[in-house]
Amino acid sequence: MKFFKQISVVCLFILITFSGYSQTYDLGKVTVKELEEKEHPTEKDAEAAVLFDIGKTYFDYDTNKGFLMITEVTTKIKIYKKEGYSYGDVEIPIYVGDSEKENVNFSKAFTYNLENGKIEKTKLKSDGEFTEKTNKYWNKVKISMPNVKEGSIIEYKYVLTSPFFSNLPEWYFQKGIPVNYSKFETIIPEYYVYNPRLKGYSMPIVSKTSKSKTINYTEKTSRSGTDPRPSNFSNEQMSYNEAVTTYIAENLWSMKSESFVGNINNYRSGVNHELTVLKFPNSPIKSFSSTWEDVTKTIYDSSNFGDEVKKTGYFEKDIDVVLQGKNTTDEKVAAILDYVKKQVKWNDFTGVYCSDGVRTAYKNKTGNVAEINLMLTAMLRYAGLEANPVLVSTRSNGIPLFPSRSAFNYVIAAVEFQDGFVLLDATDANSNINILPTRVLNWEGRLIRKDGTSTFARLIPPFVSKESTLGLVTIEPDGVVNGKIRATHFDYNAYQFRNRYLNLSKESYLESLEKKYTNIEIDDYVLNNDKDLYKPVIEEYSFKHNGLTEIIGDKMYISPLLYYAMSENPFKLEKRDYPIDFVYPAEDKYTLTLNIPEGYVVESLPKPQVFALNNNQLTYNFSIQATGSKIQLNAVLNINQSFITPNHYEEIKNFFKNVVENQSDKIVLKKS
């Protein structure tokens, strides 16, 4: 994948002999000195800091249930500012969707404060812990720590018990606040082999060892149905080896979010583990995914995926009607996509497997992602098109760097042609051919063909989504500005606009515009093509604004881009160690004509500017000229590459600094 060439994420498992770190980290040991600390030693502006975060995942044997995976976590956090109070609210997701469920228990949860020179300790009460239902598959167990103030220290422990072994809980060494000490230990029986994968820019020290373990259990020997004797119970022993791996990281800086970051968890220092081999005594060794082909074959061979996309009998008559009069491929694709979007609504559940099946989803007019888009794929195939499903990892799920059964959590459809393919997603009313929901625009998916083979499918659009604003503006002698605006939104900009606008009434939308552009009055608002997904959205309106000019003596100052000027740099961090993600290539273009007020002449204009970043990844072009009583200007910002590596951060920061400075420069008019 090109990704490996574009970002310097260390992905190899590091084996380093470890012998230090003899210090102990225990709950309940809070000092006056810790409570008196006013700011973090290395990050003075930090709102809080993790003093230590220690996790351990191990396997416990239960006679009735077999092995269970146990994860114990102890955490101690210092609160410096009010903005850090949110770290006193903790939530742990647990899976509850099957007969086997996860559970989590909190304990040793206290808040410490310094009151009149003495340490005051407040225990978490029962009303501070509660469970919230997320959906039919997941709950969140939450705690809200008591008496949290500036200067507080909070600490807690929780134990997560799970019967599911496919993945160990993902551990993040790095967080949104500085972390003084983080340790994660895995103790894994020899029967389970996991593939550990490190990510991020700050690597922990890793050590490995092993130990033997013996467990005692009771085995029941049942009699036959005709044997009147009771069952026999015998005490047995089982011995096996455990692999112990310890990861330790210290003094990690905060991983702060910023504009255009995508999913910041992709870049935090952390480790995850996926099960690759099962090898129990007296049983055949079972291997899991090791290549992308293995991953896709495993998914495609599932009855809840491959079998579902082959079903057709439930829709054939309906699709025959939909296809009447549709002769070209484009017409067929558009007609079937529009039909599925109207016929079956998304229930907000993601996943690559069907839950109730495509037939039930079609009948009930609602389904999860897999049901809707596998149904779409089947209908396109029925229409004679070369259609196939595409496995996707959403932006919130992270970038799939390695072959993994948990890499994908979403599925869309593709129609292949000789010169490429188009991508489709019927879960979103405003999606279109090659216009996917932005949650899907996450690097590459995996297209699976009918024979089970697969190939990567790029999800980032190759085309530029444009936005063009035309304005005819009059500046009055008293500084009031009025005029007419025509704004045209293309492709993904149109999709984004529809998602914002169509959920609001016209009145609510205009109120939001008037709030965004302070001191503006909007009239005669007309919206065209808002429902026609195959045309750009066009806004037209008249406006009046009394906050765009400044009159000092005999001079008037006005920003050439009016209320469209970029007022601040979106990139503020001094250093950034993760990529800049603009989601999709885009162009913003402004063409404005300003009528100078009677009695004024142009004294000075901002200077024309043209600058570019690294082979035109970003470009900016600003031109302006005065002719008689008119000023004409053009400003075009192009984002030609939507994903840019962090080694260009300083250049990008300076690029936008220059844009802001240019757009802050004023037109100066002088009384004649």
pLDDT per residue as tens digits for the range 336-376: 999 999 999 999 999 999 999 999 999 999 999 999 999 99
pLDDT at 15 over 90: no
Sign of the dihedral defined by the CA atoms of residues 371, 376, 380, 383, in that order: positive
pLDDT value, residue 9: 36
Whether residue 35 contacts residue 113, with contact meaning beta carbons closer than 8 Å, is answered with: yes
Tell me the residue ranges of DSSP E strands in 307-384: 345-346, 366-367
Greater model confidence, 224 or 235: 235
Choosing among 3.40.1170.20, 3.10.620.30, 3.30.1020.10, 3.10.580.10, the CATH entry for 293-458 is 3.10.620.30
What is the per-residue pLDDT for 135?
83
* Non-local CB neighbours of 17 within 8 Å, separated by 6+ positions: 207
Q: Give the pLDDT of residue 344.
A: 98
Q: pLDDT, tens digit, for every residue of 401-419?
A: 888 888 999 999 999 988 8
Distance between the two ends of the chain, CA-based, in angstroms? 64
* pLDDT value, residue 235: 81
Cβ–Cβ under 8 Å, residues 16 and 207: yes
DSSP state of 440: G
Residue type, 448: I
Average of pLDDT values for 604-621?
Answer: 96
Per-residue confidence (pLDDT) for residue 102, from 0 to 100? 96
Average pLDDT, the chain: 92
Confidence of residue 1 (pLDDT cuts 50, 70, 90): very low
pLDDT tens digits along 586-611: 999 999 999 999 999 999 999 999 99
String of DSSP letters for 215-247: EEEEEEEPPPTT--SPPEEEEEEEEEEEEEEEE
CA distance 379 to 319: 7
Lowest mean pLDDT among 258-267, 531-540, 638-647: 258-267
Residue 225 in this model has a pLDDT that exceeds 60: no
CA atoms within 13 A on the CB side of 672: 9
Q: Nearest to residue 172, comparing CAs of 158, 160, 164, 184? A: 184
Instruction: Please name the amino acid found at residue 464.
Output: V
Backbone angles phi, psi at 220, to 5 degrees: -100, 130
CA distance 563 to 589: 14
Residue 23 has a pLDDT of 57
Per CATH, 3-17+43-286 and 293-458 having the same topology is answered no
| Residues ≥6 apart with Cβ < 8 Å to 253 | 42, 43, 174, 178, 202
Q: If pLDDT is split at 50, 70 and 90, which confidence band does 232 have?
A: low
pLDDT at 217 over 80: no
Which residues touch 565 (CB under 8 Å, ≥6 apart)? 559, 663, 664
Mode of pairing for the β-strands spanning 179-189 and 48-62:
parallel
C-alpha distance from residue 618 to each of 311, 411, 462, 633 (Å): 47, 32, 15, 20
Q: Look at the block and give the residue holding tokens 């930090």.
A: 46
For the chain, which residues make up each domain, given as ranges?
A: 3-17+43-286, 293-458, 465-671
Distance CA 211, CA 506 (A): 68
Classified as helix, coil or strand, 397 is coil
Type of residue found at 362: Y
- pLDDT recorded at residue 64: 83
Arithmetic mean of pLDDT, 304-324: 97
221: left (phi over 0), alpha (psi -120 to 50) or beta: beta
Average pLDDT over residues 537-551: 96
Answer yes or no: is pLDDT of 224 > 70: no
Q: Where residue 3 falls among pLDDT bands split at 50, 70, 90? A: very low
Q: How many CB atoms lie within 10 A of CB 195?
A: 17
Whole-number Å distance between alpha carbons of 403 and 289: 7
- Distance, in Å, from the CA atom of 628 to the CA atom of 538, rounded to the nearest integer, reads 31
pLDDT in tens, 265-291: 889 999 999 999 999 988 999 988 778
Residue type, 516: K
How far is Cα 496 from Cα 560, in angstroms, rounded to an integer? 26
The CATH architecture one would assign to domain 465-671 is Sandwich (2.60)
Six-digit token string for 480: 């009031």
pLDDT over 90 percentage in the chain? 81
pLDDT of 184 strictly over 70: yes
Backbone conformation region of residue 319, classed left if phi is above 0, alpha if psi is from -120 to 50, else beta? alpha
Mean pLDDT calculated for residue range 487-496: 98
Q: Which residue type sits at 593?
A: T
Neighbouring-strand partners of residue 119: 114
User: Which position has the higher pLDDT, 13 or 210?
Assistant: 210
Say whether pTM exceeds 0.75.
yes
How much is the pLDDT for 287? Answer: 85
- CA torsion angle 526 528 530 533 (round to 10): -170
Residue closest to 363 by CA, chosen among 348, 340, 344: 344
Q: Is the pLDDT of residue 460 over 90?
A: yes
**Percentage of the chain surpassing pLDDT 70?**
94
CATH number of 3-17+43-286: 2.60.40.3140
Rounded distance between C-alpha atoms, residue 205 and residue 568, angstroms: 40
Contacts of 568 (CB under 8 A, 6+ apart): 660
Of the candidates 617, 668, 609, 654, which has an alpha carbon nearest to the alpha carbon of residue 634?
A: 609
Q: How far apart are CA 584 and CA 261, in angstroms?
A: 13
**Closest CA relative to residue 389, chosen from 362, 355, 415, 366:** 415
Which pLDDT does position 220 carry in this prediction? 66
Bridge partners, 588 (sequence order): 467, 637
Output the CA–CA distances (angstroms, integers) from residue 65 to 62, 153, 231, 239, in the order listed: 5, 39, 19, 18
Give the pLDDT score at 419.
Answer: 85
Phi, psi of 132 (to 5 degrees): -120, 130
Indicate the pLDDT class of residue 306, thresholds 50, 70 and 90. very high
What are φ and ψ of residue 486, in 5° steps?
A: -130, 115
Contact of 189 with 198, CB cutoff 8 Å: no
Cα→Cα distances 36→39, 79, 118, 121, 253, Å: 9, 11, 11, 15, 22
Give the residue-averaged pLDDT of 286-309: 90
| Three-state DSSP state, 584 | coil
| pLDDT above 60 for 4 | no
48 Cβ contact partners less than 8 Å away, ≥ 6 residues apart: 77, 78, 79, 80, 81, 84, 87, 177
For position 19, what pLDDT does the model report? 34
> What torsion do the CA atoms of 578, 583, 584, 588 make, to the nearest 10 degrees?
-90
Distance (Å, rounded) from C-alpha 395 to C-alpha 643? 13
214 burial class (0-12, 13-18, 19+ CB within 10 angstroms)?
exposed
3-class DSSP state of 356? coil
**Are 238 and 209 contacting, i.e. CB atoms less than 8 angstroms apart?**
no
Output the pLDDT for position 223.
Answer: 53
The average pLDDT across 247-258 equals 93
